[in-house]
Chains A and B, each alone.
Chain A
């Protein structure tokens, strides 16, 4: 069964550094999402992306964050200047028919900001 893949599985970075989290959604999927989960807490929506533009973003997704689909397969989340509170698990998800189909999640990238 096709999977959403995320790399790296764990990223450690220093405060103030830029990080790029990478995702390869399932190949025929059109809708892409990033979520984050601070350890032990709920899974929070960050941003949705469709047709090469952001559809919706949460208040968490401030100017420090950006998303890009640089080619036909990758979907990236960039954090420009990381803060300690950005330490979390970041999940990429995709779906093919929008709301009629479920979201398929990747295994996540654990980001640790020191």
Chain B
């Protein structure tokens, strides 16, 4: 079974600085998707960024980028120029590409605090 591990329960970063959230996963599959979801205090789950495993190029969305290391099964999220609105719980997630309706598996999350 696939697992997703986020080893940092909480992190803090100064506003305007850069922070990296770690994620590792375990799978025997070669084709899959990886995600970072943000959950602000409102509890809504918001997709931040997505990476297809077959793509070597790291995904980027504005201030958010990933470092995808397939061999190491690592998928970290870098937030540049941190803003107060980035304060949230961040979940790393895995989705197999084997079946069309495969579920997403979430890690336990990292709570990110932004210090003004």
A contact residues vs B (CB 8 Å cutoff): 31, 33, 37, 41-45, 48, 50, 55-56, 89, 91, 93, 97-99, 102-105, 107-108, 110
Q: Note all chain B residues with C-beta closer than 8 A to A102.
A: 33, 35, 47, 50
> Which B residues form the contact surface with A (CB < 8 A)?
33, 35, 37, 42-47, 50, 91, 95-109
Query: How would you classify the secondary structure of chain A's contact residues: helix, strand, loop or mixed?
Result: strand
Taking CB atoms, residues of chain A closer than 8 Å to B45 are: 43, 91, 93, 105, 108
Within the assembled complex, what's the spacing in Å between the Cα atoms of A93 and B103?
A: 10
**With the chains together, A56 CA to B103 CA distance in Å?**
8
Contact present for A99 and B100 (CB under 8 Å): yes
Closest CB of chain A to B8's CB: distance in Å?
Answer: 14
Residue of B nearest to A104 (CB): B47
- Residue of B50, B98, B104, B105 with most partner-chain A CB within 10 A: B104
Contacts of B42 in A (CB 8 A): 107
Q: How far is the CB of A83 from chain B (nearest CB, A)?
A: 22
Judge whether B101 and A50 touch: CB under 8 Å: yes
Selected from A41, A99, A107, the residue in CB contact (under 8 A) with B108 is A41
Min CB distance B102 to A, Å, is 5
In the complex, which residues of chain B have a beta carbon less than 8 angstroms from the beta carbon of A110?
43
Known contacts A43-B106, A45-B105; decide if A98 and B100 are in contact (CB<8 Å).
yes
In the complex where A48-B103, A99-B97 touch, is A108 in contact with B43 (Cβ < 8 A)? Answer: yes
Q: Are the C-beta atoms of B43 and A48 separated by less than 8 Å?
A: no
* Contacts A102-B50, A107-B42, A108-B44 given; does A55 touch B101 at CB 8 Å: yes
Which residues on the B side are within 8 Å of A48 (C-beta)? Answer: 101-103
